[in-house]
Structure 1
């Protein structure tokens, strides 16, 4: 798998080139249930104006760079996208310099393999791209970091794909409290758990759902269920309960040093090679928001990245179990 780290302060030719490269695959995914299954451009933009007005100018700018097409604009709204599932484990290591650590478990054929460093609308953001402006984990220059896991529920409703919700939070929020309030009010199309850590060591996990109010918790750990397991077969397959218990034990029964805790994500039961069944661990991300630094890790490899001293580059990675 080839990863790239790309920096572009304002949306421009680099982002436009990325869109043209990725759009054929995203278009097939977006239309897999038919064009009429997705909301119109008008519906999509009105939803953005209602719920995320601060980033509508950015959205309009990206639509223009993408060529101004109807389907591209609807896709970029992330409003009511096709359902998608991921695995994932995430936890806060609560040391003097707290760390957010996460595994992203997904299909390698449906992943951007892209780290974006942007200064859109005057806010510097660094993180792992999804949909070319959404994010599955990231950090901003206020020292706010966050990541997502799938919430383990089948229900699909009217709302946004969670990667755009993460981008919105990183663009508009500076503290855990602000992020929690935004996550609590924003409509999501599926159930997700979003864990947030800020520069003042405050953290929370918001359990978001399309059919009931979001639940704001003080949980330091999130895997692929919410308060209780609803989707039993998915829970068994992903070992979500076992992974949650494992992480809680590492945090409470015998507090691991930071590096030992991080390395636990690179081994079972947290690390998965179940790519033949649809998804395995594509990477481990480590966020140190007080230092505004992140790392992407694979077994035997660490790629350090800095929000303040970002270096473009690439990594070719052999992921165990991935074709």
Structure 2
């Protein structure tokens, strides 16, 4: 099968965003309802949670809700509050050279993926990021020189909190530095366990271990795969080779001084690059964020997509991948 990746640019929420939402809404809605409507928070609960934890996003949220159709289900979905559970693979690391560089592989099921790289200037803050639900993002950077990325944290627990892609969007909308981001990561509840790596233009970085049932841990590690301080979900760890990928990256950083290009290239080969689409954890793309320069490369083994705040062309890439099996529940 092929994935049609799109790059879209729209300063303020408008017809481009609304058109994408109409296109994706049937699939979004089916996913959001898969555990039953009674399993999702009400509109009032969702808005109250946003007001408590992300008040700066409320005007933007309401604007997007109107563009999405203004109905109850769209508004509850766009709040990202207590969404259905979802898992991903992913690897990410900070290059140890002088230039701030965050590289990540996004490993997920291609039929549950927006495949939209968005450049926005919402609320006067430029952001480039890979969309999730057209409000959240799974990785991205802002025009203040801050980059952020996520991996699944390898734990089964689900609790009350926000889907992590909206937390990443919130960080890029309101934060200038890693210190700003840490305040959000230790304050805003996340509904599942995720590892969030943040890098700023001074090359200061942290990885935050988010969980729904215990306090956030802030680590100075430059590497994150699919466990946190230790493996807790052993079958998932074996399935995704999280320990092996972490060990490979740590060895790469400590034993093999190399150029940025070679470091990025390592993500395009095993053990980091995965073709396990049949179990839902194939590598959909590699992203290399250079926040001090406002540049990102989206990479595949045979293609390179160069984007920046100064030069962001609305175009597309068609990437062929192995045919996956049906998405499990």
- Length-normalised TM-score, structure 1: 0.99
Q: CA deviation at 1:19?
A: 0.5
- Once residues 188 and 265 of structure 2 are traced to their aligned partners in structure 1, the CA distance between those partners, rounded to angstroms, is 34
Structure 2 partner of 1:18: 20
- Name the structure 2 match of 1:195: 197
- What is the CA-CA distance between 1:321 and the residue it aligns to? 6.0
Identify which of 173, 176, 180 aligns with 1:174: 176
SS of the counterpart of 1:185?
A: coil
In structure 2, the residue matched to 1:65 is 67
Structure 1 equivalent of residue 93 of structure 2? 91
- Picking from 43, 46, 53, the partner of 1:44 is 46
Alignment-derived partner of residue 104 in structure 1:
106
Task: Report the equivalent of 1:152.
Answer: 154
Match of 1:186 among 185, 188, 193: 188
Match of 1:270 in 2: 272
Contact 2:100 2:202 in 1 (8 A): no
Secondary structure, aligned partner of 1:234: helix
Matched-pair contact (CA < 8 Å) for 1:273–1:322: no
Deviations 1:214-234 (CA, angstroms, capped at 9, x unpaired): 000101000000011000000
Distance 2:116 2:222 in 1: 27
**Alignment correspondent of 1:121:** 123
Q: Could you list the runs of 5+ residues in structure 1 that have no partner in the other structure?
A: none
Q: Are 2:129 and 2:141, in contact at CA under 8 Å, matched by a contact in 1?
A: yes
Separation in 1 of the partners of 2:150 and 2:88? 10
User: Is the aligned partner of 1:283 residue 2:285?
Assistant: yes
Tell me how far apart the structure 2 counterparts of residues 78 and 251 of structure 1 sit (CA, whole Å). Answer: 35
User: In the aligned structure 2, how far is the partner of 1:263 from the partner of 1:173?
Assistant: 30
Alignment map for 1:201-280 (pairs within 5 Å): 201-280=203-282
Q: How many residues align?
A: 323
Distance 1:322 1:310 in 2: 31
Shift in CA distance, 287/279, structure 1 to aligned 2, threshold 3 Å? same
Task: Spell out, residue by residue over 1:100-125, the C-alpha distance to the aligned partner (whole angstroms, 9 max, x if none).
Answer: 00000000000000000000000000
Q: TM-score, normalised by structure 2?
A: 0.97
Give per-residue Cα distances to partners, 1:182-212, cap 9 Å, x unaligned: 1111100000000011011111100000000
Structure 2: runs of 5 or more not aligned: none
Provide the alpha-carbon RMSD of the alignment: 0.9
- Contact 2:151-2:195 within 8 A present in 1 as well: yes
Per-residue CA shift, 1:44-87, capped at 9, x if unaligned? 00000000000000000000001101000000000000000000
Q: CA deviation at 1:307?
A: 1.6
User: Residues 277 and 322 of structure 2 are in contact (CA less than 8 Å); yes or no, is this contact kept in structure 1?
Assistant: no
Q: Is the contact made by 2:294 and 2:308 (CA closer than 8 Å) also made in structure 1?
A: yes
Pair 1:297 & 2:312 matched? no
How far off is 1:95 after superposition? 1.4
Distance in 1 separating the partners of 2:292 and 2:210: 26
